[in-house]
Amino acid sequence: MSETLIDRVTLDDLARGAAFLGSGGGGDPYYGQLLAHAEIERRGAFRVIAADMLADDALVAPCGWVGAPTVSLEKLPNGAEAVAGLRRLEAIFGRPIDALMPIEIGGSNGLAPLLAASQLGVPVLDADGMGRAFPESQMAILNIHGLSSCPSVVTSSNGDLAVLETSDNLAHERMARGLSIALGGIAHMVEYPLSGAQAKRHAIAGSLSAAIAIGRAVREARDADADLFGALYAALRATELYPFAGALFDGKIVDLERETRDGFSIGRIVVEAFGREQQMTVTFQNENLLATDGETVRAMVPDLITVMDIETADSITTERLKYGQRVRVVAAAAPAVLRTAHALTFVGPHAFGMDMDYCPVEQLNGWTAP
């Protein structure tokens, strides 16, 4: 697409798709969806453009929320955080922002920039910085490709603001994380400011329209009373970003450990198969990282692992997991740019402290291209 208008129905498709692509993270989109509906009511449909519509010297502001999604359930935004940070970025650059971009397409962060862009009167790019959601800022493809996270601007719902400058994107993540904790567990961040040329070259193009397509496929399958998961897998495969997708495990959540620690929501679930002894364990740090079936690894980062309601095919973000939920654990291949040897040093299992080498989800499960 070159320019798309996001109306209420498309917004709900986007929310549904982003919730899946969040791989459990990025925050439950529900509250953001309500805010976005109200904004569409107020100012009309959101504008999304392809990055190639930008001038090379355009100023693009990737943005989203940083913190523990568990906190976002209780500490709601006031709606002014993003604009405060974006206006400061404009002051720093001495020029207006031309477009926003989700730093991650996953979860609530996949839609949050739409609202801010509408307030600023600029479009959002059909692209993002992660192709999914990741718990840490330096996991963005923009860092993997050597771009600077700074200057970045962190803002809180109390009007607190911090401008961060460092040449070390990992230090930047730590600073932002420390601030998010200090500011109550969650904060908004504008980071990795890009030129139009950089956005065209480095952002993960098409991820926003991919999220919409995924969400639409599930909606249409619901309306047609068709196979929801079949429609989901087909839609994922039809994007050029997520070429393999399928179910890993069905069962009931029989154990849940989750704590808010070091600015993250960290834990694991155990899913017990219906009527059998078999169990799958899914561990998470904001996002689901690893799914093991007994001793067998079935999927690992950066591939997507999403726990879904087995009846409704709704994606359940990690902060919404509950004992007793009847779920299907679904996986999808990560975008190819996240699977290179270089990228895996940033977003592979070792980057999360797991002592295992990356193995693609399609190999682990014997999936072949359809």
> Residues in the site for a second copy, rule: CB under 8 A?
156, 158-168, 171-172, 174-175, 177-179, 181-183
- CB 180 to a second copy: min, Å: 8
Q: Which is nearer to a second copy, 171 or 270 (CB)?
A: 171
Q: How far is the CB of 167 from a second copy (least distance, A)?
A: 7
Give CA–CA dist 304/52, Å, rounded. 27
Element (H, E) at 330: strand 326-332
CB of 166 to a second copy, least distance (A): 4
Contacts of residue 150, Cβ cutoff 8 Å, sequence gap at least 6: 164, 165, 166, 167, 172, 191
Which letter does DSSP use for residue 47 in this model?
Answer: E
Tokens 């249409």 -> residue: 220
Residue placing its CB nearer to a second copy in the complex, 16 or 172: 172
Asked whether 358 and 348 are in contact (CB, 8 A), the reply is yes
Amino acid at site 77: P
Q: Cα separation of 350 and 114, whole Å?
A: 34
The smaller minimum CB distance to a second copy, of residues 79 and 151, is found at: 151
Minimum gap (Å) between residue 174 Cβ and a second copy: 4
Least separation in angstroms between residue 320's CB and a second copy is 27
Query: Would you tell me how many other CB atoms lie within 10 Å of the CB of residue 369?
Result: 7
What is the C-alpha to C-alpha distance for residues 186 and 302, in angstroms, rounded to an integer?
Answer: 24
CB of 148 to a second copy, least distance (A): 12
Q: Which is nearer to a second copy, 118 or 265 (CB)?
A: 265
Of the pair 29, 135, the CB lying nearest a second copy is at 135
> In whole angstroms, how far apart are CA 140 and each of 78, 104, 106?
26, 8, 12
Q: Taking the complex as a whole, how short is the minimal distance between the CB of residue 213 and a second copy, in angstroms?
A: 39
Nearer CB in complex with a second copy: 61/161:
161
Tell me whether residue 126 or residue 136 sits nearer to a second copy (CB atom). Answer: 136
Distance CA 105, CA 114 (A): 12
Region class of 349: left (phi > 0), else alpha (psi between -120 and 50), else beta: alpha
204-205 vs 3-6, strand pairing mode: unpaired
Return the structure tokens found at 158. 């109390």
Query: What tokens were used for 240?
Result: 């050029």
Q: Would you state the structure tokens that stand for residue 224, as one six-digit string? A: 């047609």
**Nearest distance, CB of residue 66 and a second copy, angstroms:** 12
- State phi, psi for 310 to the nearest 5 degrees: -70, -20
Smaller CB distance to a second copy: residue 171 or 256? 171
Q: Quick one: 33 or 180, whose CB is closer to a second copy?
A: 180
Helix (H) / strand (E) element for 287: namely: strand 287-293
CB of 84 to a second copy, least distance (A): 10
